[in-house]
């Protein structure tokens, strides 16, 4: 079974803009697009209250399936979706939860960009390991972080063109559009 993440802060911000702005034949006006999709505030965004509720609703269904292994992306919204969806599962205490670096979003907007390595390492240690009662298997992502240092953990799995595009996008995020 594949489960996509629940409603995130970036999703909510995008939905708000879509409610407020009339789309043209070219899509959103650039300045409005950048307020959400180019805003580093939404980098690796977390779940909203609505997203947590979506997970709790989904848990009623997944609790009927005999899951023993969960593979999850290192993105915060996916870790939180996993937690809130499966925390009351009958196998919760014995499930193996593997954080896998190849499970990630395509990178097209700021909300798809993961946390920098040092922040991800800290979040895994201080927030998510306690949330998951120390049971997150982070060997794969920790190995990648240790090997790559400051180079983002997800870049080495991307083709060269995607790496160039992402670098250009990261530079775009650094500009002030206000």
CA distance 78 to 99: 10
- pLDDT, position 166: 67
Does 163 score more than 70 pLDDT? no
- Taking every pair of Cα atoms in the chain, the longest distance, rounded to a whole number of angstroms, is 51
Three-class SS state of 82: helix
Q: So what's the pLDDT on residue 125?
A: 96
Short-list 148, 135, 152, 13, CA closest to 75: 152
Q: Calculate mean pLDDT across residues 40-45.
A: 88
List the one residue out of 15, 70, 73 whose CA is nearest residue 48. Answer: 15
Both tokens assigned to 150: 């400051």
What are the angstrom distances between the C-alpha of 153 and each of 16, 20, 32, 100? 31, 36, 30, 11
pTM listed for this prediction: 0.83
**Domain boundaries defined on the chain:** 9-167
Structural contact between residues 78 and 5, judged by C-beta atoms closer than 8 angstroms: yes
Q: What is the mean pLDDT of residues 41-65?
A: 95
pLDDT at 39 over 60: yes
Only one residue has tokens 């983002």, namely 152
Cα separation, 153 vs 2, whole angstroms: 23
Read off the pLDDT of residues 108-160 as tens digits, 9 standing for 90 and up: 777 888 888 889 999 999 999 999 999 999 999 998 888 888 777 777 666 66
Q: Is the pLDDT of residue 178 over 60?
A: no
């Amino acid at each position: 079974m594949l489960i996509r993440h629940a409603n995130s802060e970036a999703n909510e911000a995008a939905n708000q803009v879509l409610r407020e702005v009339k789309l043209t034949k070219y899509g959103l006006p650039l300045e409005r697009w950048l307020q959400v999709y180019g805003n580093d505030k939404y980098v690796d965004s977390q779940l909203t209250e609505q997203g947590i509720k979506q997970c709790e609703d989904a848990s009623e269904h997944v609790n009927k399936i005999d899951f023993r292994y969960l593979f999850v992306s290192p993105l915060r919204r996916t870790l939180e979706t996993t937690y809130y969806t499966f925390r009351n599962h009958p196998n919760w205490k014995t499930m193996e939860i593997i954080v896998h670096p190849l499970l990630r979003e395509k990178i097209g907007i700021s909300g798809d960009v993961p946390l920098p390595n040092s922040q991800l390492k800290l979040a895994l240690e201080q927030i998510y390991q306690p949330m998951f009662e120390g049971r997150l298997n982070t060997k794969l992502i920790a190995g990648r972080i240790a090997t790559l240092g400051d180079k983002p953990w997800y870049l080495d799995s991307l083709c060269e063109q995607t790496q160039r595009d992402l670098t250009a996008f990261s530079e775009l995020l650094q500009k002030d559009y206000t």
